[in-house]
Amino acid sequence: MAEPVAKKRALDEKQSKVDFEDFTVLKVLLNDVKSKRVHVHGKFKDSEEDAIVTLMKTPFTESTIQSILSSDTSVSTEFENDIYGQHLASTKPSNNLITTQVIHPATEKHLMKYSHQNVYLLHESAEDYKNITLPYIQKQQFSLTWVYNILDHKKESERILFEDPCTTNGFIFLPDFKWDGKQVEDLYLMAVCHARNLKSIRDLNATHLPLLKNMYNKSMETIKSKYNINREHIRAYFHYYPSYYHLHVHFNHINNDVAGTSAGKAHLLIDIIDNIENIDSEFYQKKALPVMVREQDPLLKLLLN
């Protein structure tokens, strides 16, 4: 019985840090119907600083389904036609939990990142990266404090599934915040390397093959051991451009149709290893890479000029 009590205490402690009672909504930045996620710009009471609150519907689980399809739920009928019917169901609050993420204070860059924008698909040459993208991200990238907090065990250490502490080829493996940890079909994990001089796949060459293979093999072993999922059911990939410039790998179940896995954005880890090992040791220093750039990103104008 101690574990549920401990979990409830931890949840209560987390709840006490955020209060939406006096939160003022300024603008809905993005309402993503497909992912059932909404990003909201607003301000908390007694704070002049901007905040971004993300609300996301949690997935159904076997236990909530059984509870919903029971006397816990009241049903009103919208229409019926022969054997078909459409109804509205209202169930108890515990079946309607919403994952809530908060960025506070939020900068202009955060507001731009979470707003709806048209996207351009470009090809960034090696020269573009050296002369345009690299100088830009060195000046404009988001703070990496939260990443270093994880690597230094200052935050989220209880969430770590596996760690190789080697400063050259090591990494930390933990759940991505997009996954609630309940259903393996929604699995979403992240491997964050300990090396702090690697920003993205553009930095990778043959000297990093031990790191890449270590991240792939140890992560897949951990997934198999903890969740009993074979690597054939896991998609492991980098984003380019990444959302933050500290090298990390995304791992999710192939049945999890998450954003960021499309062509032009995702680069499979096994492909990157193969390209460096069998085609060119400096493949990613030479290759023109597809990049998806949002219309309000100043980098777009720089790349188009």
Selected from 3.30.70.2860, 3.40.50.2300, 3.40.50.150, 3.30.200.40, the CATH number assigned to the domain covering 13-58+97-116 reads: 3.30.200.40
Q: In the chain, list all ranges with CATH 3.30.200.40.
A: 13-58+97-116
Percent of the chain's residues with pLDDT above 90: 56
User: Is the pLDDT higher at 92 or at 163?
Assistant: 163
Give the class (CATH, top level) of 117-304. alpha beta
Residue for token pair 């393996």: 184
**What are the residue numbers of the active site?**
248
The DSSP string of 149-213 is HHHTTSSSGGG--EEE--TTT-EEEEE-TT--SS-GGG-EEEEEES-SS--SGGG--GGGHHHHH
* The pLDDT of residue 137: 93
User: Is the pLDDT higher at 204 or at 92?
Assistant: 204
| Closest among 194, 201, 39 to 106, alpha carbons compared | 39
User: Is the pLDDT higher at 175 or at 61?
Assistant: 175
Q: What are phi and psi of 74, to 5 degrees?
A: -100, 145
* The pLDDT of residue 84: 82
Instruction: Please state which of the ranges 15-24, 176-185, 222-231, 252-261 shows the lowest mean pLDDT.
Output: 15-24
* The pLDDT of residue 13: 44
Say if CB 85 and CB 77 are below 8 A apart. Answer: yes
- 216 has pLDDT over 60: yes
> How far is Cα 20 from Cα 40, in angstroms, rounded to an integer?
12
Cα 114 from chain centre: 13
- 167 has pLDDT over 60: yes
Say if CB 102 and CB 18 are below 8 A apart. Answer: yes
Mean per-residue pLDDT of the chain: 89
* The pLDDT of residue 36: 80
pLDDT tens per residue across span 111-131: 888 888 899 999 999 999 999
Q: In the chain, list all ranges with CATH 3.30.428.10.
A: 117-304
| Closest among 197, 234, 194, 230 to 211, alpha carbons compared | 194
pTM, full prediction: 0.75
Select the highest-mean-pLDDT range: 65-69, 213-217, 259-263. 213-217
| Closest among 45, 175, 162, 120 to 296, alpha carbons compared | 120
Say if CB 264 and CB 290 are below 8 A apart. Answer: yes
Both tokens of 101, joined, read 């993420």
Indicate the Cα dihedral angle 12, 15, 21, 27, nearest 10°: -160
* The pLDDT of residue 198: 98
> How far is Cα 241 from Cα 133, in angstroms, rounded to an integer?
10
* The pLDDT of residue 10: 42
β-bridge partners, 79: 86
Q: How confident is the model at residue 11 (pLDDT cuts 50, 70, 90)?
A: very low
Cα 230 from chain centre: 22
- Cα distances (Å, whole numbers) of residue 262 to 237, 265, 293: 11, 6, 14
Percent of the chain's residues with pLDDT above 70: 94
Q: How confident is the model at residue 17 (pLDDT cuts 50, 70, 90)?
A: low
* The pLDDT of residue 9: 37
